[in-house]
Amino acid sequence: MWSRREWLGAATATAAAAQAANQEITFGVIATGGRGRYLQERFQRMGARCVAICDIYSPNLDKAAAISPEARRFTKYQELLGQKMDCVVIASPDHQHWPMLQVHREPARRFDPAAVVVADAGGNRLGYLPPASAAALSALMDAGMLGQVTLVKPQWHWNIAKELNNGPLPGELDWRAFLGEAPVRELEPMRFRNWRYFYDYAGGNMTDQGTHLMDVTQWFTGQTAPLAAQASGYVAKMKGAEHPDVFSAIFEFPKMLVTWTLDYANSYQNGWSITFLGDEATMVLDDAGYAVYKEPWKRDAAPVKQAQAPVPMEPHIQNFFDCMKTRQDPNCTVEIAAAAVAGPHMANLAMISGNKFTRQL
| pLDDT one-digit tens code per residue, 305-321 | 998 877 677 888 898 89
Q: Of 118, 143, 166, which marks where a domain is finished?
A: 118
* Number of compact structural domains in the chain: 2
- Distance separating alpha carbons of residues 229 and 320, to the nearest angstrom: 32
Q: In what order do the strands lie in the sheet with 72-74?
A: 72-74, 49-54, 26-30, 87-90, 116-118
Does residue 31 lie within any of the structural domains? yes
* DSSP strand pairing (116-118 vs 49-54): unpaired
Same domain? 40 vs 168? no
Residues 125/332, Cβ–Cβ less than 8 Å: yes
| 326 CB neighbour count, 10 Å cutoff | 17
Same domain? 217 vs 285? yes
Please state the three-class secondary structure of 268-326 as a single string.
CCCEEEEEEEECCEEEEEECCEEEEEECCCCCCCCCCEEEECCCCCHHHHHHHHHHHHH
> Around 23, how many Cα atoms within 13 Å sit in the side-chain half-sphere?
9
Contacts of 16 (CB under 8 A, 6+ apart): none
What CATH number is attached to the domain comprising 166? Answer: 3.30.360.10
Same domain? 143 vs 252? yes
Taking the alpha carbons at both ends of the chain, their separation in whole angstroms is: 18
- Distance separating alpha carbons of residues 238 and 271, to the nearest angstrom: 19
- Distance separating alpha carbons of residues 328 and 137, to the nearest angstrom: 24
DSSP secondary structure letters along 145-165: TT-SEEEEEEEEE-B------
pLDDT at 133: 60
Does residue 327 lie within any of the structural domains? no
Same domain? 162 vs 71? no
Same domain? 235 vs 129? yes
Does residue 338 lie within any of the structural domains? yes
- Distance separating alpha carbons of residues 157 and 351, to the nearest angstrom: 20
Predicted structure pTM score: 0.85
Same domain? 48 vs 144? no
Same domain? 172 vs 305? yes
3 state SS of 138: helix
- Write out the residue range of the structural domain in which residue 232 sits: 125-181+188-312+333-354
- Radius of gyration for the alpha carbons in the chain, expressed in angstroms and rounded: 21
Does residue 286 lie within any of the structural domains? yes
Q: Of 118, 136, 165, which marks where a domain is finished?
A: 118
Measured CA angle at 117 (ends 319, 316), to 5 deg = 25
Q: Of 98, 118, 138, which marks where a domain is finished?
A: 118
Positions of the chain with pLDDT lower than 70, given as ranges: 1-22, 104-136, 138, 311
Same domain? 81 vs 176? no
CA pseudo-torsion sign 258, 204, 311, 218: positive
Same domain? 254 vs 197? yes
- Distance separating alpha carbons of residues 193 and 179, to the nearest angstrom: 13
What CATH number is attached to the domain comprising 13? Answer: 3.40.50.720
